Structure 1
Amino acid sequence: MTLSFKTEARHGYSVKFSPYFPQRLACVTCQYYGIAGCGTLFILDQTPEGLAVVRTYDWNDGLFDLTWAENNENVVVTAAGDGSVLVWDTAQLKGPIRAFKEHTKEVNSVDWSLTRNENLVLSGSWDHTIKLWDLQNSQSLNTFSGHEYIVYNVAWSPHIPGCFVSASGDCTLRLWDARGGQFPTTVIPAHDGEILTCDWCKYDQNLLFSGSVDGLIRGWDLRDTTKPVCELKGHQYAVRRIRTSPFVKTMLASCSYDFTVRIWDFSRPEALEVVSHHTEFVYGLDFNIHVPGQLADCGWDEFLRVYYPACSTPVIC
């Protein structure tokens, strides 16, 4: 069964399930495809009647990404088109409780740390930089430079404290140690086109994945980054987001400008399943960490969907 919610006059950019509540998810959207206008954060619950709105919050610029806090069930951090990193308390009706604005251009990506209760947030921006935040401080803790073009995605390692990866329009993945200075520890020339997305394998600390405008998804072993360990072909246009499964070691999902979501076993060359329930670019994608096999996605067609692909569980696959 598929649950659908229409983000009326708002185009979906990112969707994430709550790490606390299996029924809850959040979605950030933009007016006018993110080119102009405001943005809206939706907090939704799955109910027997469908997807129900818990809260909505508006901002005066587009909202491009979000991350749930790992230390507070009600807190969401969003990336904004005006260069802001915004902190929202979803138990309150009012606007953001904090607004950090150090980036000089749009913020594309935000991510909350996953190891040792560090409670640190990363932000990646069109200004080519990555910033490290402790939300208790009024200023960022560090700025990481080196990318030569837009930083589209930042992602903390779920295994290694202080380690994160970034994906950029300069066609590289870069690995960083948040405690070790402002420069990358490793640079991987991963694709021939802009890299829009990256994610870590949840079961292998040395394995990560990248997705590019070239339509390819590649896997990388950090012990030898001279060549990819796998290459997944199938998307006709840019791969906008990839998410690795929290339940199946070799499974990942991807969404694309070709209007599809694809489910993969990265040990096989072809997609296990192609989901075609959008009529515009698909931008947001996430696995529910509480419910095996459940996915959510959102796109520019103003629809958010929650569903179970036929091949999303180890039993079926």
Structure 2
Amino acid sequence: MSFRTAQRHGYAVEFSPYYPQLLACATCQYYGIAGSGSLFLLESLPQGVRPVQKFDWNDGLFDVTWSENNEHVLVTASGDGSIQIWDTAQPQGPIKSLREHTKEVYGVDWSLTRGEQFILSASWDQSVKLWDPAGNKSIATFLGHQHVVYSAIWSPHIPCCFASTSGDHTLRVWDTRNPQISKLVLTAHDAEVLSCDWCKYDDNVVVSGSVDSTIRGWDIRRPQSPIFQLDGHKYAVKRVKCYPFERNVVGSSSYDFSVKIWDFTRPQPCLETIEHHSEFVYGFDFNLHVPGQVADCSWDEWVRVYTPKCLAPT
């Protein structure tokens, strides 16, 4: 099932944590180099993917995350250095725009652990900021990366803990109670690290994807070397996601126009390669409610919702 974001190039896609049929896609005009951006709210139905709402912003939108405490609220990351908080019940525009970063915001994430309601923003100004969505100023700024920060992702298990990835080849782990210094700094790859995600079944495992075309898994208790490496993409790995229904499964999207599904415990870990795009595949996500279902989005203007054969129910 597919939907075309006409004249908007896909950067990120994420399923709703509340409704199995809803997903959001952040897009940019002119490949994110110039122009405006749009946030699409989509509904995946048996007869196809249909648009529910569309929100426009005056700069490109590079990432999107859903609120974990309000089914109507989403947050986007923009090329103008701001993050936007949207309420689907108020379609006239964002209910709040927060601007402190001095360069593009490339990643946003909403906290997952119980009792926390915070947003992370990762920016090309080499910083990560922590926000309370109820406030108008950031709570803390995390400095240490020596290049652009591409992603900042909350641990689903450990309160106050997140990981960030950067063009400086490192993955860092932080405690929000001590923003002055990162808990862990590891040189994760030999090139820029574009993405990371936490294993849903092991508090200590985080997965990274890089411009060097590899995916690596790390145990943060023993970070001297990766616990696995996945080779097979031909170009940069733009997004990695850990599967919410099996410990050993990882999904990835790449500049090589493909999505791959992996089982990192197998001798031949690549379970399936999906090639249904004609441009960079920037966004990828697993549906938390429907085992096996995934969504991706690409610079070719298409969002696709499907179940890879290797994840199909037996």
Give TM-score scaled by structure 1 length.
Answer: 0.97
Deviation at 1:179, TM superposition (A): 1.1
Give the CA deviation at 1:223. 1.1
- State the SS of the aligned residue for 1:306: strand
> Secondary structure of the residue that 1:93 maps to in structure 2?
coil
Seq. identity, % = 59
Alignment of 1:222-233 (within 5 A): 222-233=220-231
State the Cα distance separating 1:181 from its structure 2 match: 2.7
2:137 is the counterpart of 1:139: yes
Matches within 5 A, 1:178-193: 178-193=176-191
The residue aligned with 1:297 is 296
Deviation at 1:23, TM superposition (A): 0.4
Structure 1 CA distance for aligned equivalents of residues 27 and 10 of structure 2: 4
1:155-187 residue CA offsets vs partner (Å, 9 max, x unmatched): 000000000000000000000001123220110
Q: Distance in 2 between matches of 1:257 and 1:157?
A: 26
Displacement of 1:49 in angstroms is: 2.6
8 Å contact 1:129–1:147 — kept in the other structure?
A: yes
Shift, 1:312, TM fit: 1.6
Pairwise CA distance, 1:131: 0.1
- State the alpha-carbon separation in 2 of the partners of residues 271 and 4 from structure 1: 24
* CA apart distance, 1:219: 0.3
Aligned residue runs from structure 1 range 19-168, under 5 A: 19-168=17-166
Question: SS of the residue aligned with 2:85?
Answer: strand
Q: Distance in 1 between matches of 2:14 and 2:142?
A: 25
How far does the alpha carbon of each residue in 1:26-75 deviate from its partner, in whole angstroms, 9 at most, with x for none? 00000000000000000011123311111000000000001000010000
Return the match for 2:200 from 180, 199, 202: 202
- Which stretches of structure 1, 4 residues or more, deviate above 2 A after TM superposition? none
User: Equivalents in 2 of 1:163, 1:312: separation in Å?
Assistant: 30
Q: How far apart are residue 103 of structure 1 and its match?
A: 0.3
Q: Matched residues in 1 for 2:179 and 2:120: separation?
A: 15
CA shift digits 1:200-232 (9 cap, x unpaired): 000000111000000000000111000000000
Residues 156 and 200 of structure 2 are in contact (CA less than 8 Å); yes or no, is this contact kept in structure 1? yes
Corresponding letter in the other structure for 1:285: F
Q: Could you tell me how far 1:257 is from its partner in structure 2? A: 0.1
Using the size of structure 2 for normalisation, the TM-score is: 0.98
Report the Cα distance in structure 2 between the residues aligned to 1:306 and 1:182, rounded to whole angstroms. Answer: 41
Q: For 1:272-287, list aligned pairs within 5 A.
A: 272-287=271-286
Secondary structure of 1:104's partner? coil
Instruction: Give the Cα separation in 1 of the matches to 2:272 and 2:125.
Output: 36
Letter in 2 for 1:97: I
2:141–2:179 CA contact under 8 A, matched in 1: no
Unaligned runs of 5+ in 2: none
Contact 1:234 1:270 in 2 (8 A): no
Shifted more, 180-189 versus 284-293: the winner is 180-189
Cα separation, 1, equivalents of 2:157 and 2:98: 28
Number of residue pairs matched by the alignment: 313
**Residues 233-312 of structure 1 mapped to structure 2, 5 A cutoff:** 233-268=231-266, 269-312=268-311
- 2:218 aligned partner, one-letter code: W
